Each structure stands twice: as structure tokens, then as C-alpha cells.
Structure 1
Amino acid sequence: MHDLKNLWDEFLTTWSIDRVKNMTLEEYVGFADKTTFTYWLETKTHPIANINGSPSYKFGIYKRNPNKEIKEKAGTKQGEEYSWYSRFGDTEQEAFIAIRKNILTVINASQNNDLNTIENVSLSNMFKWKIAFLYQNRNSPTIVNIFSKDKLDELTGLSGKPSFSDYYQELVSNYNAEDYESIAEYGKELWLQSEVESNADAAITRQYTDNSIDIQESPLNQIFYGPPGTGKTYHTPEAAVKAAEPIKYQALGIDKLLGATPAQQAELRELYKSLTDAGRIRFVTFHQSYGYEEFVEGLKAFTNEDKQVEYEVIPGVFKKISEDAEKSKEKKNIGLKPSARVWKISIDGVNHSPVRDYCLQNGLAAIGWGDTGDMRKDERSESENEYFANLSSTNRNTIDNFCSRITEGELILCISSAKTIQAIGVVKGEYEYRENGILGRKDFCHTLPVEWLVTDTVLDIYELNNNINLVQKTVYELDRFSTADLLKKAEENGITLNKDCDSNSEDNYVLIIDEINRGNISKIFGELITLIEPSKRSGLDKNGKENREALYVHLPHTPHKKFSVPSNLYLIGTMNTADRSLAMMDTALRRRFDFVEMMPKPQLFKGKKVHNIDLQQLLEVMNERIEVLYDREHTLGHAFFMPVINVLDDKGEDDAFIELQKVFKNKIIPLLEEYFFEDWNKIRLVLGDNRKNSQTQSQYVFIQQSTASYNDIFGEGHGLETYEDKKTTYKLTDFNDENSSWQLPLAYQAIYDVSVLKKTDTPTNSDEELKTSNQ
């Protein structure tokens, strides 16, 4: 616990009371700023005391993520950058000054052991009591580093409605300074003992996601499977970052049981976005029409410039990412970006030229058409515009390619004939207009900075280009092969593009396949289903040695090239078991993937109640009934109730109850209809309506049941006695009726505990009393 003391000292040194008095808004709170007061309170001092889990409004004011839209919330105000509680002021500066004043009141009260004053300060409980804890007199402490009322209730066993002062007085009375280095150590041990005694239930309820994946190493192929709403898709970004950047992921310090703090989640999202932007994490969704052509490769018809129909091979998402991953080491070392394209250029023809020699020797690529003027300018002279407009479409396209489309980090090939290239380079910057041209040639004024990796070769790329000659057009994209194909071709011909290649610089790539069970696996993967096995992957194995069992295939549309799946490509799938049972999953896929089950976690809602509706019991009981009536693969995930929890934490029970009604109306009831094919009797059983038997309990029924004889419906002589003599019909209670069961908290409680309705049999209770008694 010596580290806790050092961390505590560091906080008090960094955030002295004098600094807090003069603290600015920018010092108080920021977005992804690890120097602010609130970042210290929430994240840096997390080992001392945890205040994670509640929204950013707990700070009174916070700086929004600039990439997210503003979400309006009752009782708050929104500025250009900040959001705050309107009770603190009309402007962000007014609000901050009021919040800072409250913080100073808490600090002064904690140092004077005046806990009653802290009780009345208008800041969130977790936030103000952590401040009070950190600034209290450590030689005579009065506050323990536990700020959850549920946990304080559990630890103290106090009855009635105890205040935080009551809790801390009870806990501190048992504190012996001789047994602990500090009050922080005492609080940590109290929490730990509570966890052990409750069989770690509390830790499990705060579990962020399924924890069966080892942090150190991710499986090459894994599928998250489970019923709807269990966090499968929600978990994939974390799993993808863990696979793509295991070291950076571990550096985030995400607790395997407690999960990511809000600050860690923000960092995780930023890292995920940067990896997707770089092309190292890609996403695809399988569906019934998805096939081999989209996933691996297929043919696409197009009309060329001569108005002739041609067919080109289009690589699918899996082939693209496999090739990028295979050559990631080489691409990274020569400065290619992951999504780099390949461009062809003819510098002053294909024969010997002083301009060409100058460009290759001085790190340039250049093209003519100097009369166009600077292509970066929005406004060019009338004559320049007229000149450009009168060029052929081919020439205009060439100039646009060179000046606008080619970007830094892409591959450029200087040709020497219709089949061969002389030089290979990487674009290193943006287009530049040279008014005086090159070597007196004023027509060669359009230039790009290029690092030429090799300039004196003769590499035949005719076969690589699908047996098609390079055409006379000066600049165009070579889209029949990838950068990985070119690098492999160069390697096969003994051309080394980077002699200082770092063998440890290989990047991991991740392909996320959402709804993997909805596609026809045999149709989509084809012959590649074998190649995804870890033992059949190309590249280095786990011991850093070349895998001798690697398999290569020749794809049908590109038979001249060998294809394999590299060992640094990770596949992450999600599977909704309500769509298809795991038992019905393609056997070939089941043998090649690690399956990670993600089931509903009602424990996440332990202690969470909305007008006395216990959300944990509600979800547990409904799922228990669904499992009996259907199976466990069609239970309800905890994600259905997460919006209710968010509203409960943000706005309180009244708004949370409205949100709960929306969840039943828009999510749960439609899903149950789908599960049971509109068998309303089974839906009644799930909702517990069958147990609401007495006349007074009928107002709490969600699905109304009525039975009528055929004689009543059709009259006599209907001739339907052969089948039955009466019909039972069902009607869903109107959600929009303000007096319906959906508006009554007791109706939801009765789903899991019908005994709450016993008092409804007493005629002295009015309907309105029953509606409000549980609020």
C-alpha cells in the first residue's frame, strides 16, 4: 500500500488548495486531457478510490467529445464545447465558478471534520466525497474511501435512512491507525473483505464484458455468440484493439473484472478509430445474399475508353486485408500506408530522358501540361481554364490523378515499356507547382515528392497486371494488383526495396464479421475455409519461425498468383443465437473458431430499482420462463435494460420508468412476438399474466384474454363443432392508455413477484393509491 500513499502525496502536491482556488476551467476539465483536476480525481487516483461508472455530468460541467453530436438533457445547458447543469449558471464560466466554489467548500469542511456541510453541497455524492476524502486530515481521518451507498449499507448494516456522515462515523470507529498505513488501506481492505464474503458477486456485477479472453494473447479466430442484447457487437472493438495492438491495449490498464473506466473507454475508442482509419481493423456483415465474389474476389464488367466491354478482377474484403496483412512489415518499413494504391507514371516517355533522370535522382515525379497553371489554385486565369477545358478527357483525367488523387504513402511505378517498370517509389508529400519547370522544361511544372526505392531495374509486371499491357496514358491507377502483390513480385525477382527491414515491425490486422451465422459459410469462404486454420497460416508462427505447414491456393480469377492467409490476420465474428442455433452452425466453421459464449448478465443490475421494480429479478425471471418455453439461446440480453440504467443515473426514477415502458413497447414485446410466432398465451406466461387471477388484479394484466363460444360469435348452425365450441382471443393492452397496466409499477413487479398484488384485493385501496404507493 506504499504506492497509495505516494500517489496520495503526489495528488496533494499537484493540486494544492492554493492551486484549486485559482484553477481555470481548462485546468478543471477537458476531453482526453490527462492533466486536469477531474482526470486526477477519476483516473489517476483510481487506485485510491473508485468513482468511475457515472456520467460526466458528475463533475457539474464537462467538455464534450468534439466528434459526437450534442445530446440535450433536462436541467442542463450546452455551450460550443461544454455541457453543464443549469443550476450552476447560464454560461460555462458562471457554472465553473460556482462549481469551484462548492469544491473549496468541500475541501475546507473536510479539513475541519464538518461532514454535515459536505452533505449539503450541490455536487454529486461520489465526486464531492472523494474530494473530501483526499483533502481530509490524514492523521485524524473521518472519511473512508468508499462512496457507494449500496456498499456502505452492506458494510455498516445501519437501518433507517443513514447519511454519509452516519456511514463514515460507523466505519471510522473501527479504524485502528496502528494496523494500517493509512485510511486508504483500511477502506481497500473493507471492500476486499466484502467481495470475498459475497463470493465476489459485486465484482461480477460490474463486469464490463465476457472475461474469458486472455489479455496477453487473442485467438486468431474467435466468435462471440449468445442471445440478442448480450454485448457481442459492443465487445468487438475492445477485442479488435486487443488483437491489433496488444501492447497498447495492456497499457490502457483495463481491469479484467471491473472493466474499463470512462476515461479508458474514451482512449479505447480513439485507438479503435485510428486503427480503422489506418485500415488495420475492418468490418463486414454477412447476410443471405453475401457471397464469394464480395468476400474473396469476383469479376466486374466495365466499358473502357474505346467503348469496349472489359472484365476486371475485383478483390473482396477478405483478400484485400489478407494481402495487406501479409506485406505489412515491408509496407510499414518503406512508408506505405495500409490502404495504399498503386499508380503508373511515364516521365517524359519511356526512353532515356534528362527530365526522367533528374526526377529519379532528386526524389521527384513530374508530368507536363504546364499551360494549365497551378492545379491547387481555386481561381486560375481564363486562358488557363480554357486550355484545361479543351484537353481530351484522358489528359484531364491524368492531370487530376497526379495533382489531386495521388496521396502521401502510396506506391508509384515509373515504366520503361508496355510490360516493364524501371523504378519503384513511395509518394512523400503533396503536389507542388514549379513555375519554372525542370531543367528548363517549363512544361514539366507539376511535381510530387517521391522516395525512389529502386531506379535501375527492369521488372516485368505483365503477368501481375492480369496479362494486360501498360497503356500510353501518362498517369493512372493500376488496380489489377495490390501493393502487396507488387512487393511480393519484387521479392521473387531479387529486388530489395528496404535493406533495413525490421523483422519485429509486423502489424496485426483484424477483420470483424458481424452476424457471421447469417451467411452461407461454404459459399462465402469457399476453398479458404482451410487456410484460416492457425496451423495453415503463412508467415511466422508463435515461436517466430516460418510456418512450414502453411497452405497456398490459386484463386479461380487470379490463377497466376499464390494466395494464403497470413498469421497476423485476426478474425472476430459475432453470432446471434436467436437467428440460428449453435448446433446448426457450419461444422467446418465450428472446428476452426474459438467460441466465446456471451449470455445475459442480470447481475449487472444488482441493487438497481425503478419505483421498486427490481431490474435484476425482472430479467432473471423472464429469462427463466423463456428458457423453459423455448431455450436459453432465445433469452433477453442485459443490453435491453441498459438505457433504463443510464436514464436512472442521469435523470432519476420517473424518467427511468418511462424508459422502461419504451423498452417493453419497442424491444421486448416485439421480440417475444417473433420468438413465439404470436403465440400470445406463451407471451402471457413470460409476463406472468396467468397468475393475476382475481378481479382486482385484472388491471395489472399486460395481455387481455377473452373466451367466446362460436354460437355467440356466429349464431346457431355454424357447423364448427367438429373442431371446438369456443375460441380464446388475446389483446395487447394499449401502451398509450395512461390508465393501462403499462403505467403501473406494480404490474412490472408482479412479473416476478405476484404477491405484491395481494393488497389489491382489499377494496379500501383506490387505483390511484395503488399506482403511487410504489413510487
Structure 2
Amino acid sequence: MREAEFRAWLEAQDYEDATIVMQINRVRRIEQSYGDIDALIENGGLEKLQQELAYSKADERAGKPNPAEFPVNGNVYNNMATYRKTLDYYRQFASGDEIQKADGQNITAAAIEAAMDEFDTIGLEGFKSQYGFGTPQKYWVKRPGNGKLYPAKAVVGVSYGHVPSGVPLKASDFYGGQGEQAANGILRKLGYEIVSRGATAPEAHVPVKPEPKHESDFMAMPTNLILYGPPGTGKTYRTALEAVRLCDGIASYPETKDGRAALMARYNELVADKRIAFVTFHQSYGYEDFVEGLRPVPIGNSDGESVGFHLQPQPGIFRLIAERAETGGLAVGSEPLNIADRAVYKMSLGEVADSASDFVFTESLQNNYALFGFRDIDWTDPRFSDREEIFSEVKKEFPDVDVTPNKGMVQSPDVFRNQLEIGDILIVAKGNHRFRAIGIVEGEYEYAPRPDGRYCHRRKVRWLWHDKDGLDVSELYPPKFIQKTLYRLKDAELNRPLIARLVSETVGDGAEGEPLPHVLIIDEINRANVSKVFGELITLLEPDKRAGMDNALSVTLPYSKRQFSVPANLHIIGTMNTADRSIALLDTALRRRFNFREMAPEPELLPVIEDIDLKAVLTTINQRIEYLIDREHRIGHAFFIGCETAEQVHDAMRDKVIPLLQEYFFEDWSRIHAVLGNGFIREDKLDPPPGIEGDRVSSWSVLAPFKADAFERLTAKVVDMAVEGDE
């Protein structure tokens, strides 16, 4: 797949990010089973594949199985329709065509019924996430026969994808004559009844998403998993596979070089999206690193100069990804809203103690912008992107005022004009102890002069939440606000989940979507003192103690004093090298809260390379290690998995296997020799120095090169013992 070009083509068709990602993931899944899609097009195999994925309503009634080589969840008819549509998109992309959207005149009752069937399969949340529609605000359509109610506009939009060469309309397509009334007109023309019920239809009539019936649907429950085994058993690869499966719901990547590359590419995308985080435990790792700890932070005066420092709570990786997971399902209208990655600023809209400035707050909210004062100077000139230019202009306009670059009348306009970016969040203060509005910056700086010369500056803002009386700031931002008009709040102190909750509870605006799965990978989990690292949070890891579950628990964190719980959509995968520490030595509390999956050596995965039977080699080595030490010190197949020539096998033995055996046996070369034999290890005898009586002692060395029949000697039933001076 020409992924970058396909993505750009979809963007040119004005599709939203979620739809683009979905189409690309579908192509990836098709390629995993059928090979490169561009090769299919070149060889004329695309039409054949589309025919292979054909699945009719008659097939559905007859209970015919899924025709695809890959498994699907839910309704087969709808799934096959979406995959055929994806193939059609890629064909149009490859031929340089634009997507032809169906005319509303071509919508049929069969297409409407198919959209309703799809709604029955994936539910309202599925429609919202897959097609970008929000919660229906007023109009529902009644289905003849069973009386179920469906969101009218969304059903019409999706029905466009169920007519020949049609494409589902997105929520954003329903403007300019194609809104609710246009959708209702199409439905009425086809004989459907429109019902006006408000944002919530009667529960008995609204189809709900069915209970999970497929293996991949178990992801709704939190996963606590530890992969354990000797070194080289593929724990790292398996961890990436599990993490991608938990995030995407599927992870069908073949055990080939290309399959591994595709898996790691997807894994790296999820890491870049901050849905997967990785940390390695070690002996000195602690609670302050993992959850939160105190860090020195400089204290600045009003002129921006450092005058000392204080200790401030800083979140660790576990708190960060937990908060990211908790806020990851937020949507405003039909658009996803990621709270975690946005800068958050405190801003004052007027002076609370001055009733004459009340208009600043009310006018800002009514007109969807933020008004800003600080002198009637037009800052639109590009040169004012430099704070020094702002400073110079203020000095020129107000020569009698004592001004420095760090004074508020210079600093605040610089923040408002230059530092505040589109997408940043504004928290509107009500004094220093309360806040009364939350919004997102949507426009660049504007100069809008007023007759009285006050509040002439503004930025367009989409207000997500407001409360005239305000809420106490202590839960949102424990340090409380300071007497500055506009400044960025410290991430470590900010309670982002509270912002998400307030926005999601806003009637008719925010909506809580299906939370995106997040994964925390803890490598070498057994190398740290787990009780010390997790502290009181060990109990919160249990699936039924997670946020939103039946027995949900929360704790007050010791440094930030904020309430903390572990969200149910945060999965934890640990890895454990059994050569470092036995499972039996792990903390009992940890063992009770995690599932353990052994990753044993798999010699059967190894080929014969130039007469070297790697399966027999690895099996023999591990049998001898298990006899001399234990099974937890065996070595894995990954040491040889990438070998393609005899030279590479020799290098793996010399550079990986033998050094590991030296560590295992504490430089006891007689035991290393017992494992590998004299095809790899040479024993010489040293006489005692002159004048010293004693026995001859052994001198061991690794042969260079190995003997020609070294591997045959190794895999023989009887090990050849070393012969003095044996070459």
C-alpha cells in the first residue's frame, strides 16, 4: 500500500482523521491476508477479491460463514460491505479518481434498511466514532415492523454508503442544505415516520450494541499481563503484538520479516499517539519515578528573575498515562477532543470586584471569543511577534510609565498574541479561588477597537463549559491562581481529568465517547522492588477496582493530594526475564493481580542452515543447561531467529550464546564446556611454575574458528570430552 499517498488522497476528499485511520487499517488487514494491494491491482486481482468478499442478505439469512480469510467481529454483511468499500476507495485512489458521492435522489429504502442493520450491529457509540456523528438532538426515524427508533440524520448519512458507488456522508457533510431537514425529507419520501423526541429516545426502542461475542472483544476488561521466560524467547516482540492488539482490537501480523516490520510500524504509530508508553524497571526505580514525586522548581519574581526554588509534585509515567487514558474518549459534538496534549492557560475576563467589567465575561461567551485589555495598541503588525518590539512600542506610547520586558503590560500582550496557540485551553478565573469557564482557542489574534479604548484585543474561542458562580479551583489546580491576567498553568499541578469531566457533562455540547485503549509496558518488571514502586496503588490495579467498575476505588496521592484511580481502558503488560529472578520470588500481591504467560524457547521455529540443524542445537543446549542449573536459565530461539548463513550462526554462538553461558556459570569454563563440547571450547593444561609443586590446571579458551564439525559434536548423544592439545 502506498500509505502516505493514500492518506493524502483521503484528506483531499475532506475525510476526518478517524475515518482516514480506519480506511488505512482496513487496507493493512486486507494485505495481511491477501498480499500487497498495489500488486493485486497490477495483476487484475482486485475485482476478484471484491467478488470473494461479496456477502448478500440472502447469504446472511442462510447463515453462510465469513467469506474473508481474516476474522471479523459483529455482523458479517456490514463488515464485508465496509471492506469492499475500502477496496473501491483504493481503486479510485490508484486510478487518480475523486470519490463520487451518491445523490440523495438515489437513496433507496434498501439502503436505509442496511444502515439501520449497521446501527443494530455497532450501536449509537459505533455510529458516533466511525462516522463522526454526535448524539441525536431532536429527530429520530421509526423502523416499520418493530417500531425501533434510529437517529434520522445519521441513518441517512450512512445509507449513502449502501448504494452502488456511494460513500457514507460524514457529520460535517450535513451543512448547506443537507442538514436534518434534508435528511428528514429523504426519509419521508421513502415512507418513513419521523419522531421528534429530543436527545434521548425511549430506551426500549433504541438498539444497543450487542454483548461481546468474539475473543478480541474481551479488551473491554482491563488486562494485567506478565510475559515471562528465559532470555531470547521473543518477549519484546510478543509485547509489541499484545499492545497493538489491545489498542486496535486485532493484530494479525504474519511471522515474517515483512509482518514484523508492519507490526513495529503500527506499534510506533501508537507510541507517537501516546497510547502506548514504555518504561524499564531497575533496582533504584521507585514510587517517585513511577507515580509522582517532588522535584525542585525555580521561583521567579514579577520581573521573571529566579529567586530560589521550591519542591513541586511531578507526575511519573504511570500517572501520566492513566490521566491520558481517562481523558482519551472525550468528544465535543462529533469531533474528538484530546485534553492531554493541550497547553492550558488561566485567563481573567474582566475584574470580579468591578461590576463595570462584567460585560467582558458575558460578551466573550455570547460571541465566542476572549476579550483582552492592556492598552489600546494594535498588535497585528507581524513585527510584534517579537516581545522586544512590543516592549519598544509600549515605551514609545507611554514614555512616562516604568516599563520592562517582564512587566505585565509587555508580557501579557506577548502571551495573548504570540504564545497562546490555536487549540490551547483557556480556564477563566473568578478571582484567585474559583474558575467559571473552559474554552478552546480557535483563532489568531485580532484587533477590534472600541469607543472607550478598552478590551480592544480578542481571540476566537469555542466555549465548552461555563458556570456563572464558578467552582472552587483547589481540585482543578491546587496552587490556586495568581494575580496575573494570562499565564500558562503548570502541567504537573493541573487536574486534566476534571476538565474532561466538566466538558463531557455539558448538556448538548460535550459527549463522552468510547474510551480509547491505552497500554503501559513495563520491561524487566521483576528487577525493581514492586511493592515500593506501586505503593498503595497495587490494589487499584485489580480489574474490578478500576474507575467505572463495580468495586471502583480511588486513593489520595501523597504529594499532589489529588484523588487518583486507574481507568479501565489502561492495560498493563510486564516482561520478566526468569534468568534474573524466579517467579516464586515475586511479590505475592503482584502475582495475585497479574496473569502470567510463559514464553518458552521454541526450537521448532528454527531452520536448518547449511547443514546446521538449529532446532537440534538449541534443544541440546537447553537440555544441558536445565540439567546443570534449572529450566529458567534456558536460552531462547531469538538468538538464532535472524540467522540466514552459517557465518551468522557462528557469530551468534560466539557473541551471544557463549557470553551468556559465562554469566550463567560464573566463569566456570568446565561447565560451559559440558554444555557446548570441545567443538567450541578448547582445554589446555598448564604446568605449575618452577619451584612450585602442584597439579596441572586447565586453561580454557573459545576456539577461533570453531571446529568444522562443532555442531555435529554438540548434538551427538555422547559429548566428546576435551583432549589435551586437541586442535
Q: Could you tell me how far apart the structure 1 residues matched to 2:257 and 2:705 are?
A: 37
Amino acid at match of 2:445: Y
Which residue of 1 is the match for residue 674 of structure 2?
685
CA contact (8 A) 1:230 1:637 kept: yes
Amino acid at match of 1:466: P
Question: How big is each residue's C-alpha offset from its partner over 1:538-582, in whole Å with a ceiling of 9 and x where there is no partner?
Answer: 214xxxxxx1x22222222233x3322222211111111111111
CA contact (8 A) 1:360 1:455 kept: no
CA contact (8 A) 2:339 2:500 kept: no
CA contact (8 A) 2:387 2:405 kept: no
Amino acid at match of 2:533: I
How many Å apart are 1:382 and its aligned residue? 8.8
Which residue of 1 is the match for residue 406 of structure 2?
393
Which residue of 2 is the match for residue 278 of structure 1?
273
Which residue of 2 is the match for residue 531 of structure 1?
540
Distance 1:525 1:381, change over 3 A: closer
Say which SS state the counterpart of residue 510 (structure 1) adopts: strand
Which residue of 1 is the match for residue 680 of structure 2?
702
Q: Could you tell me how far apart the structure 2 residues matched to 1:522 and 1:382 are?
A: 53
Answering whether residue 429 of structure 2 is matched by residue 459 of structure 1, we say: no
Which residue of 2 is the match for residue 14 of structure 1?
none
Say which SS state the counterpart of residue 345 (structure 1) adopts: strand
How many Å apart are 1:591 and its aligned residue? 1.0
Alignment of 1:590-629 (within 5 A): 590-606=591-607, 608-609=608-609, 611-629=610-628
Distance 1:384 1:754, change over 3 A: same
Question: How big is each residue's C-alpha offset from its partner over 1:323-382, in whole Å with a ceiling of 9 and x where there is no partner?
Answer: 332343346777234433432112455552545443322322354568684587798799
Q: Could you tell me how far apart the structure 2 residues matched to 1:586 and 1:703 are?
A: 40
Q: Could you tell me how far apart the structure 2 residues matched to 1:424 and 1:449 are?
A: 10
Q: Could you tell me how far apart the structure 1 residues matched to 2:414 and 2:655 are?
A: 50
Which residue of 2 is the match for residue 425 of structure 1?
439
Which residue of 1 is the match for residue 588 of structure 2?
587
How many Å apart are 1:410 and its aligned residue? 4.3
Say which SS state the counterpart of residue 432 (structure 1) adopts: coil
Distance 1:568 1:240, change over 3 A: same
Which residue of 2 is the match for residue 553 of structure 1?
555
Which residue of 1 is the match for residue 487 of structure 2?
475
Alignment of 1:471-550 (within 5 A): 471-479=483-491, 480-488=493-501, 490=502, 496-499=505-508, 505-540=514-549, 547=550, 549-550=551-552
Say which SS state the counterpart of residue 243 (structure 2) adopts: helix
CA contact (8 A) 2:345 2:488 kept: yes
How many Å apart are 1:457 and its aligned residue? 4.2
Distance 1:708 1:272, change over 3 A: closer
Distance 1:515 1:619, change over 3 A: same
Of 228, 236, 256, the match for 2:239: 236
CA contact (8 A) 1:331 1:337 kept: no
Q: Could you tell me how far apart the structure 2 residues matched to 1:391 and 1:452 are?
A: 36
CA contact (8 A) 1:372 1:384 kept: no
Which residue of 2 is the match for residue 62 of structure 1?
none
Which residue of 1 is the match for residue 656 of structure 2?
667
Which residue of 1 is the match for residue 368 of structure 2?
363
Q: Could you tell me how far apart the structure 2 residues matched to 1:622 and 1:672 are?
A: 10
Q: Could you tell me how far apart the structure 1 residues matched to 2:661 and 2:424 are?
A: 52
Q: Could you tell me how far apart the structure 2 residues matched to 1:455 and 1:235 are?
A: 49
Q: Could you tell me how far apart the structure 2 residues matched to 1:43 and 1:748 are?
A: 46
Distance 1:407 1:432, change over 3 A: closer
How many Å apart are 1:503 and its aligned residue? 5.8
Distance 1:477 1:732, change over 3 A: same
Answering whether residue 715 of structure 2 is matched by residue 752 of structure 1, we say: yes
Q: Could you tell me how far apart the structure 2 residues matched to 1:746 and 1:41 are?
A: 48
Which residue of 1 is the match for residue 100 of structure 2?
none
Q: Could you tell me how far apart the structure 1 residues matched to 2:495 and 2:564 are?
A: 13
Unaligned runs of 5+ residues in structure 1 are: 1-30, 49-212, 541-546, 649-655, 690-700, 734-739, 758-766, 768-775
Distance 1:371 1:728, change over 3 A: farther
Distance 1:469 1:503, change over 3 A: closer
Q: Count how many residue pairs are aligned between Structure 1 and Structure 2.
A: 507
Which residue of 1 is the match for residue 705 of structure 2?
741
RMSD: 4.0
Which residue of 2 is the match for residue 320 of structure 1?
320
Which residue of 2 is the match for residue 86 of structure 1?
none
Q: TM-score, normalised by structure 2?
A: 0.61
CA contact (8 A) 1:342 1:477 kept: yes
Say which SS state the counterpart of residue 572 (structure 1) adopts: strand
Q: Could you tell me how far apart the structure 1 residues matched to 2:45 and 2:557 are?
A: 51
Answering whether residue 223 of structure 2 is matched by residue 220 of structure 1, we say: yes
Amino acid at match of 1:620: T
Alignment of 1:241-260 (within 5 A): 241-246=244-249, 249=250, 254=252, 259=254
How many Å apart are 1:618 and its aligned residue? 1.7
Q: Could you tell me how far apart the structure 2 residues matched to 1:280 and 1:375 are?
A: 40
Which residue of 1 is the match for residue 563 of structure 2?
562
Alignment of 1:186-201 (within 5 A): none
Q: Could you tell me how far apart the structure 1 residues matched to 2:381 and 2:281 are?
A: 43
Question: How big is each residue's C-alpha offset from its partner over 1:157-180, in whole Å with a ceiling of 9 and x where there is no partner?
Answer: xxxxxxxxxxxxxxxxxxxxxxxx
Say which SS state the counterpart of residue 414 (structure 1) adopts: strand
Alignment of 1:320-339 (within 5 A): 320-330=320-330, 335-339=337-341
Unaligned runs of 5+ residues in structure 2 are: 1-30, 54-213, 302-306, 396-402, 721-726
CA contact (8 A) 2:227 2:597 kept: yes
